[in-house]
Amino acid sequence: MLLLILAILLMAAGIGWSIGANDAANSLGTAVGSRAVTLRQAIVLIVVFGFLGAFLQGAHVSKTIGKGIVPINDLDATVGLYLAVVAMFSACAWVVLATYWKMPISTSHSIVGAVAGAGLSVGAPIKWKVLSDIFFCWIFTPVGAAVLGYIIYRILKNLFYRIIPRRNLKLIITILIIISGCYVAYTWGANDVANATGVISGVGVLTPEMSVIFGGLAIVLGIMTWGYKVIETVGTEITQLMPIMALAAQLASSVNVHIYTVFGIPVSTSHSIVGAICGVGLVRGTRVLNFRIMRDIVLCWLATPFISGIISFLVLKGIRFFVKI
């Protein structure tokens, strides 16, 4: 039992690290792409505000991940621990692979798919209604962010050039980009820390408060060590971002994610920021969008819950072949 608990904590640290590595780009990747901040400055800001979001509001979504998909706390203690280890291993493996490819995938999709796959493997009851609600929110996340991004960019473009003197425009927009990027980092930390902590709090290894701190620290480590890889994709490869475009995309993404977080719904900050960037880019016409990279990103999005779920299902089946649980 002790070895299982240690394995759960190790896997939780691993998935927290992989979340930080992959999802750091969702916060200030656009700011880096528009040259409002340097990569090093962006990483420092993401670390600070991402951890604050995890610590202050991370418990909302942790409840959904930990108990809302599979009632892990109602299962046999040993079964629940094995399920937790396998689900986190499977989610972490896929996120690390996607990060190596520099693809901004959804860590939320990965852990939700892994929990569901592990639950099916042991015959646990799956809350399909919760899964269907999460699935529909996944569809609306990038669409809603794109619409918000398009509208906000239109408003800011007309407003800023009319009311702000040109000599002050660049400085003011840069300051607002940094502030909005910090807000994105905060909402990301609040929503995505559950992907690392929801399962360990669900099986009762740590209290929700302790698990949020644990997951937050693991995410910080991921940001600091490997976060730069996906930041490059989000910041420069989808479309070339002018400063005011980066501001509109960050505002749209953060508002979008914060709404879902308040309701405890684990959505993808990756989907949100990519959708917002596309919406902002569409104001200038489809020619400015890199459809090749967008196609690759969408394919990874679609594959994520299924791949992590299949890995989880097969790994736990293999374990049950050798261990009676």
pLDDT 10s digits, 70-92: 776 677 878 888 888 898 899 88
Contact partners, residue 306, CB within 8 Å, separation at least 6: 113
Residues in the chain: 325
Lookup: tokens for 52: 């604050």
**Residue-wise pLDDT tens digits, 218-251:** 888 887 887 776 776 665 556 667 788 888 988 9
Give 127's pLDDT tier (boundaries 50, 70, 90): confident
Q: Are the CB atoms for 224 and 17 separated by under 8 Å?
A: no
Residue matched to tokens 């994610």:
257
**Alpha carbons 91 and 282: distance in angstroms, whole number:** 33
- Range 109-136 average pLDDT: 85
Residues sharing a CB contact under 8 Å with residue 266, sequence separation 6 or more, in sequence order:
61, 64, 65, 108, 111, 112, 134, 191, 192, 194, 195, 198, 260
CA dist., res. 273 & res. 250, Å (int): 7
Given a cut of 80, is residue 316 above it in pLDDT?
yes
Nearest residue to 33 via CA among 274, 300, 218: 274
Q: How far apart are CA 19 and CA 95, in angstroms?
A: 7
Percent of the chain at pLDDT > 70 equals 85
30 and 246 in contact (C-beta within 8 Å)? yes
Residue type, position 308, single letter: S
Report the Cα 144 to chain-centroid distance in Å: 16
Q: Residue 312's pLDDT band (boundaries 50, 70, 90)?
A: very high
Task: Tell me which amino acid residue 71 is.
Answer: P
* DSSP character at residue 241: P
Contact 72, 66 (CB under 8 A): yes
For residue 195, what pLDDT is reported? 65
Model pLDDT, residue 314: 95
The encoded tokens of residue 254 equal 């953060």
Distance (Å, whole) CA 43 – CA 194: 21
Tell me the mean pLDDT in the region 253-272: 82
**pLDDT tens-digit series, residues 165-213:** 777 878 888 899 899 889 888 887 777 766 666 666 666 677 767 777 7
User: Do residues 195 and 65 touch, judged by C-beta distance below 8 A?
Assistant: yes
Percent of the chain with pLDDT over 90: 12
Tokens 């962006």 identify what position? 42
> For residue 35, what is the DSSP state?
T
Q: Are the C-beta atoms of 183 and 191 separated by less than 8 Å?
A: no
Of residues 215 and 89, which shows the higher confidence score?
89
Q: pLDDT band for position 111 (50/70/90)?
A: confident
Q: For residue 183, give both structure tokens.
A: 């807000």
Residue 219 near residue 52 (C-beta atoms within 8 A): no
Amino acid 59: pLDDT: 65
- Mean pLDDT score across all residues of the chain: 80
Torsion, Cα of 137, 141, 143, 145 (10° steps): 150
Task: For residue 170, give both structure tokens.
Answer: 């660049």
Task: Kindly state the tokens that stand for 91.
Answer: 């989610």
The span from the CA of 76 to the CA of 112, in Å, is 20
Spatial CA neighbour of 14 closest among 70, 120, 113, 86? 86
Each residue's pLDDT tens digit, 30-47: 777 778 888 788 888 988
pLDDT score of 311: 95
Domain ranges (residues) in the chain:
2-322
Helix extents (H) in 102-165 = 107-121, 128-163
pLDDT at 325 over 80: no
Which tens digits make up the pLDDT trace of 265-295? Answer: 777 777 888 899 888 888 877 666 777 777 8
Residue, of 37 and 306, whose pLDDT is higher: 306
pTM of the model as a whole: 0.73
Give the per-residue pLDDT at 101: 83
Contact 119/83 with Cβ under 8 angstroms? yes
* Structure confidence at residue 151 as a pLDDT band (50, 70, 90): very high
In this model, does residue 98 exceed pLDDT 70?
yes
